Chains A and B, each alone.
Chain A
Amino acid sequence: MSTLDGKVPAGAIKDKWTTYKDKVDLVNPANKRKIDVIIVGTGLAGGSAAATLAEQGYNVKAFCYQDSPRRAHSIAAQGGINAAKNYQGDGDSTYRLFYDTVKGGDYRSREANVHRLAEVSGNIIDQCVAQGVPFARDYGGMLDNRSFGGVLVSRTFYAKGQTGQQLLLGAYSAMNRQIARGKITMYNRHEMLDVVIVDGKARGIITRDLVTGEIERHSAHAVVLGTGGYGNVFFLSTNAMGSNATAAWKAHKRGAYFANPCYTQIHPTCIPRSGDYQSKLTLMSESLRNDGRIWVPARTEDVDAIRKGSLKPLDISEENRDYYLERRYPAFGNLVPRDVASRAAKERCDAGFGVNATGEAVYLDFASAIQRYGKEQALLKGESNPSDARIKELGKDIVKAKYGNLFDMYKQIADQNPYETPMMIYPAVHYTMGGIWVDYNLMTTIPGCYAIGEANFSDHGANRLGASALMQGLADGYFVLPYTIGAYLSNDIRTGPISTDSPEFEAAEKEVTKNMNFFVNNKGTHSVDYYHKKLGSIMWEKCGMSRNEKGLKEAIEEIAELREDFWKNVSVPGDANELNQELEKAGRVADFLELGELFAKDALNRNESCGGHFREESIEQDGPQKGEALRDDVNFKYVSAWEYTGKPSEAVLHKEELEFNDIELKTRSYK
């Protein structure tokens, strides 16, 4: 076991990034034209990086598996993006955003990276507005804000419930400008299946053209992975169906350490599953917790009646409702961070208070908000004696303006009208804080291979705050990587084009082709989904919201067995030289079957509860925090970075000790 150097610059935290930028090596414009950069993934991180590097003069080759870069899954982010603009004058600052993010991450992120993120957050909003992103505005024409969980200020910028869409379309538009100039060559419907290392440096990738099946070699002076998270290891998650870990996992197998794989965010407000055929879960934005109140019935007889259908939630009086977040966490109430809210929902459902047939749902209720807004509107309109119906009507209009598209989506899926009856929600896998280990430069342990956005591990610790994923993706792509990658590429100005004829490319291509041929020729007995669902169920049962030693040990064994069975008995119809969606899935599930095992191993190693990682063995035994998660800073104040050695369960642990010089380590309390 060795220790890892995060390469954090010296100096006071508020000066580190400025000093770094002042002193970093630059590449002159004429030389940038001689340098190629590969970017895999075109979400907020990859898309913004591609646009910015191309704008600076590098030759960018960008890859996405979708039919257009505009469809990357960042598009589905709903609620908003944080920035320390303090437009509301409510006491926000760079320091406060930094502090909230480190605390929200349960003190498991790297301070210097988070501070840099907070520093550039304001620039992101400026940049996006300049690009024509239509953020919500107030009647004075100024930008509007809302609040998200785990903070006491309003710093979240939004575009209805479609903020991710609008930010991604902004990055896509910036890409389009560079595609038109010939500075980005865009490869749609291409999947990266390996990274190629030449003389110890990442010098290219192997891809499969998803339409023709052709295996291709692409070279560059550096390779950037903006390929998102691995939530689909659970099969059911809020990720897109195609979201996968293959690019990240291939890099891991080639030498990139994988950090904190067990840090998974289970989002508290998703639409509950309705049956075994379920293919994915749908998020209801955290912004709804600004106005929605979460509750379950306080009496078991009411729960039984609700489940039988003989009682409606509206029939339960106030005193017989348990607003459990407001009860347990009076300071933050319904706006506690996601990990806390999810565990509290699970606690109530495990105790038998879940409100749908599966027993896995709680209510998210907007009746109070509709009343409050209705009364306010009546006053504003000078209506002195409004009827109850009129108050409700006015209140609904406001709620509709704020969350209309989310309410419509809920209605389409759940077939219930959330303006009239509370939503039913339950936690679901949403985001992975873990990812490829990177240093301060965002470089992985493979020289010349970078990881940005959700694909890396650095900024969110053990729990990500709402509206911070969009911030990190764009910060990495627009404002961080374009500086840090120059330091590396400045050594490559005399290298010249990288050949794809080397033995390394040859060998990597051969390996990929062999794998593809194996799948279509295997003629096994079970579909790819059969294995993916089995893996998902092991992960959810044993590596989900609550984890213990016994379960994790079982998971490691069960996943290894499942993987062996997969390689014997998986069936993939069709050919390798055509559009073959089953073949695409097979490659991704093969990698999830390895990642899942490492995930469980990491969770087993980390015998503390922190953020989204909850170990049943590590709970506060008494005092005001009794029953809450117990972090262990003495033994676990480090990043676990795993080195691949041929078998996930035998991965070697490397530690990066975390230092907190600017924030005092405290028990995270939202009470």
Chain B
Amino acid sequence: MNLTLKIWRQKSANVKGKMVDYKVADISEHMSFLEMMDVLNEQLVNGGEEPVSFDHDCREGICGSCSMFINGEAHGPVKNTTTCQLHMRSFNDGDTIYIEPFRAKAFPVIKDLVVDRSSFDRIQHAGGFISVNTSGNTQDANATAIPKHDADLSMDAAACIGCGACVATCKNSSAMLFTGAKISQYALLPQGKVEAKDRAQNMVAQMDEEGFGNCTNTGACEVECPKGISLSNIARMNRELLSGSILG
């Protein structure tokens, strides 16, 4: 298929960016979206132009590197799918595709489609861990039985890949789904309960400091999340936060 691409080009963080038009031809429906971008970039390099910068690594939908707002949707049109797992069979010959970076105050653009998501790391530094030393003398892994239901829910929350689609898609640029997922993963397990209240307070405080917005319950984050992280994690985060501030 032949496509027109309208892509955000921005030389660096401090330079103004703009949408630029490109044409690509003979795109196979079996290509992934990023392989289509590879074709464009090969074309640009061979023509002596600078290729489009974009974050990507595993191309298996698990590392969370890839981003891109495609036709107004984080990771494009297919549900529960990262950009790297999106395939061109979701598009038609002659389509015009708009490709922009994930935009948020807390995700400044570095270049073209590459944004700085280190604010996510800093939220994790504030409490995204259980304080246990690596001694080799922790208790036996089976010493505490954990109900399968809790373990499964914890796993569902832990499946977050930290891509930032939730932030990019939220009209408030809120990071509550991301933060709530981490807080939930630990709060659901007995080993995470000891620090649960402090964790919630510290992580939420850092989230606010980074300039992420608040949650107004539109649920767009859950819809666009490539890993199907549930909105109930935000509720659990708020419960941890509230019970922490009331009960101390």
Q: Which residues 160-203 of A sit at the B interface, judged by CB distance below 8 A?
A: 160, 162, 165-166, 169, 172-174, 176-177, 179-180, 186, 188
Residues of chain A contacted by B242 (CB below 8 angstroms): none
A573-B49 in contact (CB<8A): yes
- B125 in the interface (beta carbon within 8 A): yes
How distant is B44 from chain A, measured CB to nearest CB, in Å? 8
How many chain A residues sit at the interface, stated as a range, is: 35 or more
B148-A75 in contact (CB<8A): no
How distant is A190 from chain B, measured CB to nearest CB, in Å? 13
- B247 in the interface (beta carbon within 8 A): no
Answer whether A573 and B51 are a contact pair too, CB < 8 Å, given A166-B155, A179-B125, A529-B42.
Answer: yes
How distant is A187 from chain B, measured CB to nearest CB, in Å? 11
Q: Which residues 54-106 of A sit at the B interface, judged by CB distance below 8 A?
A: 55, 66-71, 73, 75-76, 85, 87
Checking B46, B48, B80, B151 against A136 with a beta-carbon cut-off of 8 angstroms, the contacting residue is B151
Chain A, residues 94-131, CB within 8 Å of chain B (1/0): the string is: 00000000000000000000000000101101111111
- B129 in the interface (beta carbon within 8 A): yes
- B145 in the interface (beta carbon within 8 A): yes
Checking B85, B116, B189 against A134 with a beta-carbon cut-off of 8 angstroms, the contacting residue is B189
Tell me the number of A-to-B contacts counted with CB atoms below 8 Å.
211
How distant is A405 from chain B, measured CB to nearest CB, in Å? 8
B163's closest neighbor in chain A, by CB?
A71
Chain B, residues 72-85, CB within 8 Å of chain A (1/0): the string is: 00000010110001
Residues of chain A contacted by B57 (CB below 8 angstroms): 66, 71, 73, 240-242
Q: Which residues 136-164 of B sit at the A interface, judged by CB distance below 8 A?
A: 136, 138-142, 145-148, 151-152, 154-155, 158-159, 161-162
Checking A75, A87, A177 against B131 with a beta-carbon cut-off of 8 angstroms, the contacting residue is A177
How distant is B203 from chain A, measured CB to nearest CB, in Å? 11
Q: Which residues 177-213 of B sit at the A interface, judged by CB distance below 8 A?
A: 185-186, 189, 191-192
- B220 in the interface (beta carbon within 8 A): no
Answer whether A85 and B141 are a contact pair too, CB < 8 Å, given A131-B129, A132-B192, A573-B48.
Answer: yes
Answer whether A55 and B134 are a contact pair too, CB < 8 Å, given A129-B191, A134-B185, A179-B125.
Answer: yes
Q: Which of A274-282, A321-329, A332-340, A427-435 contacts B (4 or more CB under 8 A)?
A: A274-282
- B246 in the interface (beta carbon within 8 A): no
A579-B139 in contact (CB<8A): no
Main SS of the interface on chain B? loop
Answer whether A172 and B154 are a contact pair too, CB < 8 Å, given A67-B116, A70-B64, A142-B142.
Answer: no
A140-B145 in contact (CB<8A): yes
Answer whether A478 and B30 are a contact pair too, CB < 8 Å, given A126-B139, A141-B145.
Answer: no
B160's closest neighbor in chain A, by CB?
A169
Q: Which of B32-40, B91-99, B229-237 contacts A (4 or more CB under 8 A)?
A: B32-40
A142-B145 in contact (CB<8A): yes
Between A and B, 19 residue pairs with Cβ closer than 8 Å are A71-B58, A75-B63, A120-B136, A132-B191, A136-B151, A137-B146, A137-B151, A160-B155, A166-B155, A172-B124, A173-B128, A176-B125, A177-B131, A240-B59, A283-B60, A409-B60, A409-B61, A527-B42, A582-B51
The 9 A-B pairs at the shortest CB distance, nearest first, are namely A141-B145, A173-B129, A134-B155, A130-B138, A134-B154, A129-B141, A240-B57, A123-B136, A71-B63
New A-B pairs, 20, CB < 8 Å, besides A126-B141, A129-B138: A51-B134, A55-B133, A67-B55, A67-B116, A67-B117, A71-B57, A87-B142, A127-B136, A130-B191, A132-B192, A137-B147, A137-B151, A166-B155, A211-B110, A240-B59, A241-B59, A277-B31, A279-B32, A409-B61, A578-B11
